[in-house]
Structure 1
Amino acid sequence: MVASPRAQELVSLGGWSEVSLQDLVLKELQPYVEGTDRLTVNGPPIRLRPKAALALGMVLHELSTNAAKHGALSAERGRVAVAWSAESGDTAAHLVLRWTEEGGSPVRAPNGRTGFGSKLIEQQLRHDLGGAIKVDYSEVGFNATLTLPFDVVVPGSINGAFGDAPAKQPWPSDERAMPSGGIPTSDRK
């Protein structure tokens, strides 16, 4: 399995035990949005198992890089919103993460070919995590919905996840100081 250096840093700082999903999202997008209001993060506190954090980190890294090169973050007014929730399915609960871009260059679906990034995302989600992705190349911007089995989540870390999610948390202008290492000071171990 290939790992994003940012995800690997978070996993190792946590003693290879668990990683906050919010911290993972913020860390992967930090190079593209730090010091701006171009990212909105919304979701209940959820902690991921290390293997899941590494694989999802690669997916977020790929989505972030594509947004910076071709999508919303390549345009001055482009924005990305990342939201997640715990949802009950027909047979089991799932972690659902929604990636939404707007304000970027017009997007269109690839014309029949699958690029390296798409293959990497598919590999990480389907094979390494047992999840799936659904993409939409809308006129407003690229959207992706990731559905992951709940076994990627650390047991006991989802208290209240099926209830109301906290209010939207813009980054980096939230109340937690963001030191040069990119990890909110209140979450450092």
Structure 2
Amino acid sequence: MAKAAPIWLRLLLGALLLPLIWVGLALLLPSALSSAAVDFVDDHVRAELRAALGGSLLVLPVLVGGARMPRPEQLPEDIKAIATLNAVPLRHESFDDDTENIVATVLGVAAKTRRWEDRGAWKAKIAYALGGAAAACMFVLVAALIHFWILSRPLSASIGAPLTTLLLISGMASGAWLGLSFEARKRKLR
């Protein structure tokens, strides 16, 4: 007869939204030295499994170390329900992709839709906007210098001071817009 989970375990599981159950070979398969961990009624791992499965929590089995989900007949009655759950693998060869899949499963959203993880986005946008504005100012400056060398008078004398100021402001604004467009295109390609 399986004992009820201790109060500390029930409180801990009650605080979790989604417990991850790590399923490894040591949990399921007997070794030369001992039986499988799930074969012992008082095993703490089995008690945690029983408590997680017995509550109203969503449980996500994570297969590690080459483990496979056991068939229901391989498991004791009190934790048989884990065999009916969809599991996600965590392999050494594809660790980054597997952890991304686990996070996406837990959060319910893919990486591209998790805006809160895009920490550097605002800094990058500001940097590209400033870079575009600086490039546009350099373009206007070079154009003004060429105008001065050819006509031997400043640009403001030819088109007036207000239009020169407007040219600089519009050049900076369009440069910033081009910088932001470049950053957005670059981000989409990632």
Structure (1/2) with the larger strand percentage: 1
Range class of TM-score, shorter chain: under 0.3
What TM-score comes out, normalization by structure 1 length?
A: 0.22
Point out which structure has higher relative CO (alpha carbons under 8 A, 6+ apart): 1
Bigger Rg, which one: 2
Q: Which has the higher helix share?
A: 2
